[in-house]
A = this chain, B = another copy of it.
Amino acid sequence: MARMKIETPRQDAYRKLREAIVSGRFHPNERLVEASVATQLGAGRTAVRAALVRLDQEGLVVLEPNRGARVRLISDQEALEIEEVRATLEGMLARRAATRAKPADLQDLQQVIVEMRSRVEEGDSIGYSELNVSFHQRIWAAAEHPTASRVVGGLKSQGIRFQYQTILRPGRTERSLREHEAIFNALKSHDGDAAEAAMREHLAEVLETLKWAIEGQRRTPRWLPG
């Protein structure tokens, strides 16, 4: 009998807390009191403590000795830097993926593109965003470069997207879709140069959108309550 995939309390607390931070339920600079968080998450203080250590190492919270933990504020500058690193590494990964992608990989990607198109037509930004993540991750897998994948995955790019609401830019999803299609075509024709170029162009656009979001944020209040 296939055994169930059980989540230990520790992993569970880590996952929940991370999700809560990334999704914005704890806003930047907010103090994370261990006892309080523990009750909110329905976990023990030990588990929360372990989760905080991990998240500190990961860069999502800062952990000062005897002074507790707080959600790390990602500055505008840092957000741009993260996207820059992401562009560099994902460019490399796209190049590799172009030469290594197997038919099955390409088929999967094709499928994601199709679904993306549906979401765009339905105006489902959130669904599109999830597919976006999926698309990139499949490329990482096809690139067969676990180390680079791990590094890119460890960047806080997911949190950024929420903090700045980059999807809300009018017409962004349509352009994004076209950019993804361009990447896919390059991969399909196993053209490494083209793949890297397309990926970098895509992420340059994302960077532009991010700058736009930062500008817009400068006028309007920043974090709204859930």
Contacts and interface: CB of A to CB of B under 8 A. Distances in A.
Contacts of A85: 89, 92, 147-148, 151
Given A65-B11, A89-B89, A84 B145 contact: yes
Interface string A62-84: 00011000000000001001101
Contacts of A81: 145-148
Nearest to A82: B147
Interface string A137-154: 000000001111011000
User: Which of A8, A53, A59, A150 gathers most chain B CB within 10 Å?
Assistant: A53
A107 interface: no
A176 to B, nearest CB: 23
Contact of A10 (B11, B65, B89, B151): B65
Interface residues of A, number: 28
B8 A66 contact: yes
Interface in A145-202: 145-148, 150-151, 155
Contacts of A148: 81, 84-85, 88
A35 interface: no
Nearest to A7: B65
Oligomeric state, in number of copies? 2
Contact of A53 (B54, B66, B84): B54
A57 interface: yes
A58 interface: yes
Nearest to A80: B147
Nearest to A50: B53
Contacts of A82: 147
A85 B57 CA distance: 19
Contacts of A89: 85, 88-89
Given A49-B50, A84-B92, A85-B151, 12 more contacts: A8-B65, A8-B66, A53-B57, A54-B56, A54-B57, A81-B147, A82-B147, A84-B148, A85-B89, A89-B89, A151-B151, A151-B155
12 contacts: A8-B66, A10-B65, A53-B53, A54-B54, A57-B57, A78-B147, A81-B145, A81-B146, A85-B147, A89-B89, A151-B151, A151-B155
